[in-house]
Chain A
Amino acid sequence: MRVAGKGLVNRDKSVTFRFDGVSYTGFEGDTVASALLANGITLMGRSFKYHRPRGVLTAGSEEPNAMVTVGEGAGAEPNVRATVQEIYEGLMVRSQNAWPSLDFDVMAVNDLAAPFLGAGFYYKTFMWPKRFWEAIYEPVIRKAAGLGALSGKHNEDTYEKAFAFCDLLVIGAGPAGLMAALAAGRAGVDVILCDEDMQVGGRLLAESGAVGHLSGADWAASVMAELEAMANVRVMTRTTVTGAYDGGTFGALERVNQHTGKRGGGAPLECFWRIAAKRSVLAAGALERPIAFQNNDRPGVMTAGAVRAYLNRWGVSPGEKVTVFGNNDDAHRTALDLAAAGVHVAALIDSRQGITVEAASFPVIVGAQVCNAAGRKALESVTVRTSAGEQSIQTDCLAVSGGWNPTVHLTCHMNGRPTWREDIQAFVPTAGSIPDMAVAGACDGVFSTLGCLKDGLRAGQEAAEALGKRVVAVDLPVADDAAYALEPLWAVAGKGRAWLDFQNDVSVKDIKQAAVENFRSVEHMKRYTTQGMATDQGKNSNVMALAVLADATGRGIPETGTTTFRPPYGPVAIAAMGAGAQGHGFAPERFTTSHKRSVERGAPMIEAGLWYRPSYFPKAGETTWRQSCDREVGYVRKAVGVCDVSTLGKIDIQGPDAAELLDFVYTNLFSTLQVGRVRYGLMLREDGTVMDDGTCARLGETHYVMTTTTAAAGAVMRHLEFVTQCLHPEWQVAFTSVTEQWAQFAVAGPKARELLNGVLAQPVDGESFPFMGCGPVEVAGVQGRLFRISFSGEHAYEVAVPSRYGASLFDLLLEHAERMGGGAYGMEALNVLRIEKGFITHAEIDGRRTAFDIGAARMISAKKDCVGKTMAARAGLMDEMRPQMVGIKPVDAAAVLSAGAHLYECGAAQVNGNGLGHVTSVGYSPDLGLQIGIAFVARGAARHGDVVRFVDAVRGLETDVEVCAPVFVDPEGGRVRG
């Protein structure tokens, strides 16, 4: 219910939203949680395992209970914390993990079965029989347990990711963070201040104390106004810093439009930031921990700080009759603030003896503990135990405080371990855990407002100084400086289940059970009980669980250990991290100059690395790709075919030592290559395996153009950089990738020269352009290059022009080709053509093949050193039992072959270890009228003519194939020279 005169929400602006289909009204500034509480709704969710009714526990992002699904349809977002989600007009929110309804949940029957569902239950029960797991247990458990579900539909929402840079990142805009940002900002430091809340102020928004002559909230607003006026300060609200990484890099999630109904139109829902900061100040505050007692999870049981926040910030009392239970002075504030606001306080229960509360207008029971709570869907009463006995108190809200845990999470992200402080019974960050990070305020165990202001000021000034700025004075406002005193109380003794991890339903008993079963290490206990492994990562409960484990194992808390906090601090949608990477954004797309024409001609485009290449060019009447492919192969074998080969890597190499570089990276010699000639080259890795192959043309005395395969273009470029920078920086040679500068087309077939002579300014002949010749040409008025090279075994050329002329040259070549009975050919035909000739691609040189394996051992020149030469000479790499490249053709001409199939001796058992090798490429040869393939077979070079068994167990193919030389067409190579 709303409390008159309290809160920071805008009471002039009411907002209507729906929860489980029912319309509610709140105010601008409300979260779903505060608005529901204001409407008297306390039941907000069901727990993960036992489906126990749960209310809201906290008022912040640490919330374990109140998880809701926001929105409807494809973009519905599950597991949103009701304490974080701001309400906006038309917001639709649904409860989760309950069926048929939140009020009546069938699966709550699990709660009755609780004695059988304790720690380690899954491990013990479902180990046997094995097949039962997949068939029965898992589906049932998956249906019963679990939080919200994704829609399973494509999410149309926009997400974004971005980089930001600053000198100082201040994490948290409470009193400490604001002072740090103010001190650094005034000193001229380039500051980013992040806070996950919708407005700055942190705990000041939730407290009633003043800062200077202003309320805490007004003081925060005044600082915000000053910071916003500074050009050197950026304030990012609704931004959770999720992780601290190497080199001053931080991850942060900004909820850009989660608080508005705005969807689409380019405005992102969330943005994932990577912030690079020279220094940082962690002022993340502290999180309150509850106390475990029987039925402490009843809706209406909340942290004391949350109750105070709902009252002071949102003007809401979560109950009409509130009881407060704590082990520290801070809890008293909740009772005092409630009473001052006119809310009935049933009692203040302090577990410590001899405590007095000044000006208390409510009963104070000291040396007492709450040992039970009653009321299933809403709290009705609590049982209080004193030395005098037990008494029941009628109450609909219990505010509990077991003390505060500094939010040390980020300081653990680089393997730091927090330090236990006995005086505050909590872990604090260990100095130096994150390089160049200072910790300030409650995050460092400083719990008074004045202390936080002072600590933040110090941290801001020290950061400014470290960044070389002159420190500017900042006045320290007067504020509360009360000491923080507590006596440890983690779990109240008693029967029944006392809850620690609310979301995962882990009780004190479960932790004790883990200890009994010798899961005494914190990490083991966590995994055995699932403590702290829910979406809230045990922010409220980990330290409590640790204390219970310490107690159960007879050790102190620091000896027992601490859990490891890993990024992200809060949940981050994969959509935000992978923003932009859906659909076309998944990978860059590279298009050739003929792309548009190819698509227009109906060619299905296939990916080749990032490139897209035409698979084949269908013609009217063709119903299968094979028909198109066979026709295109025919163009090249019988007339002339045109194919865009621009995707091959092209590297322009120039300088006096260009030849020396090539001699070193290729196995064969290039220094002896004449100007105007092209040579095929093979490259090895230093370990002796084949890296890549391709041709290299010598355009001038000190000028070469290297081509690489499409796949290895980047790797070869990197390799050349490595050789010239790391091995031979003394060489005078420069090179650059010109892949995208030149459009290059293969013109192949018996009529190739005839076609070219129709478009070249100067006709070519066998003398001016012999096989493997190259040189400049003028084509259709454009200066280009011509290479007489062939990847099909036919008389062929590749003609290159600057990319801007590529599309029109493609048109021109096709026009001529089609007039001559030829046309365009795609990747399928190109593949058949090269298999017929035994030309390799990366299907063959897959990173395991040596020059010896592919029958190219003699290409390793004896006259010089080259990369990989020494290691390629190892006996094991030249063993004749190694799989060597061969051709295969089926004995039965109608048999179907497939790449990836294995080869065995005929009659041999087809088992692992018995294989002779495998098939790397297959295609249908129209010339031969059967399928042919390239394979690697042990001792293959000596086995031509042998028949072996071809087995593709995946596709269910099996047939006899004959091993042969890997050249099926024109073995003498006469055509290419013709």
Chain B
Amino acid sequence: MRIDCPLCGARDRREFYYQGAAVALNRPAPDAGVEAWDDYVHLRDNPAGETRDLWHHEAGCGAWLVVTRDTVSHAVSRVELATDVKGAMA
């Protein structure tokens, strides 16, 4: 597997640390309630198809990336800097 880091270019997956679903970007407010927090910390979709993950270019530039990929074909369709994705959410 290769991930096209927006800062470094296409690199072997061994350079990256896998975190999990990109929902980690959507941290609830402290008073959002039990359900919102349970959802944020524990509940994850398990799609057969498109998924958005967080990967960290740990052995590269240090950027956290939002990787859109297909869990069936393993095709990576998009790689974005997490800062950009989070910035656009503000």
> Interface residues, chain B, CB within 8 Å of chain A?
1-3, 10, 12-13, 17, 19, 24-25, 27-28, 30, 37, 40-42, 54, 56, 58, 62-64, 73-76, 81-83, 86-87, 90
Q: A245-B1, A435-B75 are in contact. Are A274 and B12 (CB under 8 A)?
A: yes
Q: Which residues of A contact B74 (CB under 8 A)?
A: 246-247, 414
Given A726-B24, A865-B30, 15 more pairs with CB closer than 8 A:
A246-B2, A246-B74, A247-B1, A249-B12, A276-B10, A435-B73, A714-B58, A721-B64, A722-B19, A722-B54, A725-B83, A726-B82, A727-B27, A870-B30, A871-B37
The docked-state distance in angstroms from the alpha carbon of A730 to that of B30 is 19
CB pairs A–B below 8 angstroms (22 shown): A246-B74, A247-B10, A248-B2, A249-B1, A274-B12, A276-B2, A414-B74, A686-B27, A686-B40, A686-B41, A718-B17, A721-B56, A721-B64, A725-B64, A725-B82, A725-B86, A726-B82, A729-B87, A869-B30, A870-B28, A870-B30, A870-B37
Size of the chain A interface, CB-CB below 8 angstroms: 25
Q: Which residues of B contact A730 (CB under 8 A)?
A: 87, 90
Q: Which residues of A contact B75 (CB under 8 A)?
A: 435
10 interchain residue pairs of minimum CB distance = A247-B2, A729-B83, A246-B1, A246-B74, A725-B64, A726-B82, A865-B30, A725-B82, A725-B83, A247-B1
Interface membership of A163, Cβ < 8 A: yes
List A residues 687-743 near B (Cβ within 8 Å).
687, 714, 718, 721-722, 725-727, 729-730
Q: Which residues of A contact B86 (CB under 8 A)?
A: 725-727, 729
Q: Which residues of A contact B10 (CB under 8 A)?
A: 247, 276
Q: Which residues of B contact A725 (CB under 8 A)?
A: 63-64, 81-83, 86
Q: A163, A687, A721, A727: which contacts B41 (Cβ < 8 A)?
A: A687
Contact B2 A718 (CB under 8 A): no
Q: Which residues of A contact B42 (CB under 8 A)?
A: 687
List A residues 212-248 near B (Cβ within 8 Å).
245-248
Shortest distance in angstroms between A691's beta carbon and chain B's nearest beta carbon?
Answer: 14
Q: A276-B12, A725-B82 are in contact. Are A249 and B2 (CB under 8 A)?
A: yes
Q: A414, A726, A871: which contacts B64 (Cβ < 8 A)?
A: A726
The docked-state distance in angstroms from the alpha carbon of A245 to that of B13 is 12
Q: Which residues of A contact B64 (CB under 8 A)?
A: 721-722, 725-726
Contact A247 B76 (CB under 8 A): yes
Q: Which residues of A contact B3 (CB under 8 A)?
A: 247
Q: Which residues of B contact A729 (CB under 8 A)?
A: 82-83, 86-87
Contact A163 B27 (CB under 8 A): no
Shortest distance in angstroms between B53's beta carbon and chain A's nearest beta carbon?
Answer: 12
Q: Which residues of A contact B87 (CB under 8 A)?
A: 729-730
> Interface residues, chain A, CB within 8 Å of chain B?
163, 245-249, 274, 276, 414, 435, 686-687, 714, 718, 721-722, 725-727, 729-730, 865, 869-871
Shortest distance in angstroms between B3's beta carbon and chain A's nearest beta carbon?
Answer: 8
Q: Which residues of A contact B19 (CB under 8 A)?
A: 722
The docked-state distance in angstroms from the alpha carbon of A564 to that of B32 is 49
Q: Which residues of A contact B30 (CB under 8 A)?
A: 865, 869-870
Q: Which residues of A contact B12 (CB under 8 A)?
A: 163, 249, 274, 276
Contact A726 B25 (CB under 8 A): yes
The docked-state distance in angstroms from the alpha carbon of A247 to that of B75 is 7
The docked-state distance in angstroms from the alpha carbon of A248 to that of B11 is 12
The docked-state distance in angstroms from the alpha carbon of A163 to that of B15 is 13
Contact B17 A871 (CB under 8 A): no
Q: Which residues of B contact A870 (CB under 8 A)?
A: 28, 30, 37
Closest chain A residue, CB of each to CB of B85: A726
Q: Which residues of B contact A687 (CB under 8 A)?
A: 41-42
The docked-state distance in angstroms from the alpha carbon of A910 to that of B20 is 40
Shortest distance in angstroms between A435's beta carbon and chain B's nearest beta carbon?
Answer: 7
Closest chain B residue, CB of each to CB of A688: B41
Shortest distance in angstroms between B85's beta carbon and chain A's nearest beta carbon?
Answer: 8
Q: A247-B1, A248-B2, A730-B90 are in contact. Are A718 and B76 (CB under 8 A)?
A: no
Q: Which residues of A contact B58 (CB under 8 A)?
A: 714, 718
The docked-state distance in angstroms from the alpha carbon of A414 to that of B75 is 11
Closest chain A residue, CB of each to CB of B33: A870
Q: Which residues of B contact A163 (CB under 8 A)?
A: 12
Q: Which residues of B contact A686 (CB under 8 A)?
A: 27, 40-41
The docked-state distance in angstroms from the alpha carbon of A341 to that of B62 is 67
The docked-state distance in angstroms from the alpha carbon of A70 to that of B3 is 41
Shortest distance in angstroms between B33's beta carbon and chain A's nearest beta carbon?
Answer: 9
The docked-state distance in angstroms from the alpha carbon of A592 to that of B56 is 27
The docked-state distance in angstroms from the alpha carbon of A729 to that of B17 is 20
The docked-state distance in angstroms from the alpha carbon of A113 to that of B55 is 57
Q: Which residues of B contact A865 (CB under 8 A)?
A: 30
Q: Which residues of A contact B37 (CB under 8 A)?
A: 870-871
Interface hub of A248, A714, A729 (most chain B Cβ within 10 A): A729
Q: Which residues of A contact B40 (CB under 8 A)?
A: 686
Q: Which residues of A contact B76 (CB under 8 A)?
A: 247
Closest chain A residue, CB of each to CB of B4: A247
Closest chain B residue, CB of each to CB of A276: B2
The docked-state distance in angstroms from the alpha carbon of A501 to that of B74 is 34
Shortest distance in angstroms between A715's beta carbon and chain B's nearest beta carbon?
Answer: 10
The docked-state distance in angstroms from the alpha carbon of A249 to that of B15 is 14
Shortest distance in angstroms between A406's beta carbon and chain B's nearest beta carbon?
Answer: 23
The docked-state distance in angstroms from the alpha carbon of A721 to that of B16 is 14
Contact A727 B2 (CB under 8 A): no
Closest chain B residue, CB of each to CB of A724: B83
The docked-state distance in angstroms from the alpha carbon of A249 to that of B11 is 11
The docked-state distance in angstroms from the alpha carbon of A869 to that of B31 is 11
Closest chain A residue, CB of each to CB of B90: A730
Closest chain B residue, CB of each to CB of A865: B30
Shortest distance in angstroms between B30's beta carbon and chain A's nearest beta carbon?
Answer: 5
Closest chain B residue, CB of each to CB of A866: B30
Q: Which residues of B contact A721 (CB under 8 A)?
A: 56, 62, 64
Closest chain A residue, CB of each to CB of B57: A721
Shortest distance in angstroms between B11's beta carbon and chain A's nearest beta carbon?
Answer: 9
The docked-state distance in angstroms from the alpha carbon of A276 to that of B13 is 12
Closest chain B residue, CB of each to CB of A726: B82
Shortest distance in angstroms between B25's beta carbon and chain A's nearest beta carbon?
Answer: 5
Interface hub of A247, A718, A730, A871 (most chain B Cβ within 10 A): A247
The docked-state distance in angstroms from the alpha carbon of A686 to that of B39 is 12
Q: Which residues of B contact A871 (CB under 8 A)?
A: 37, 41
Shortest distance in angstroms between A833's beta carbon and chain B's nearest beta carbon?
Answer: 34
The docked-state distance in angstroms from the alpha carbon of A650 to that of B81 is 26
Shortest distance in angstroms between A798's beta carbon and chain B's nearest beta carbon?
Answer: 27
Q: Which residues of A contact B56 (CB under 8 A)?
A: 718, 721-722
Q: Which residues of A contact B24 (CB under 8 A)?
A: 722, 726
Interface hub of A414, A714, A722, A725 (most chain B Cβ within 10 A): A725
The docked-state distance in angstroms from the alpha carbon of A871 to that of B41 is 9
The docked-state distance in angstroms from the alpha carbon of A249 to that of B76 is 13
Closest chain A residue, CB of each to CB of B36: A870
Q: Which residues of A contact B28 (CB under 8 A)?
A: 870
Shortest distance in angstroms between A332's beta carbon and chain B's nearest beta carbon?
Answer: 44
Closest chain A residue, CB of each to CB of B27: A727
Shortest distance in angstroms between A864's beta carbon and chain B's nearest beta carbon?
Answer: 9
Closest chain B residue, CB of each to CB of A274: B12
Q: Which residues of A contact B62 (CB under 8 A)?
A: 721
Q: Which residues of A contact B41 (CB under 8 A)?
A: 686-687, 871
Q: Which residues of B contact A714 (CB under 8 A)?
A: 58
Q: Which residues of A contact B27 (CB under 8 A)?
A: 686, 727
The docked-state distance in angstroms from the alpha carbon of A729 to that of B63 is 12
The docked-state distance in angstroms from the alpha carbon of A730 to that of B62 is 17
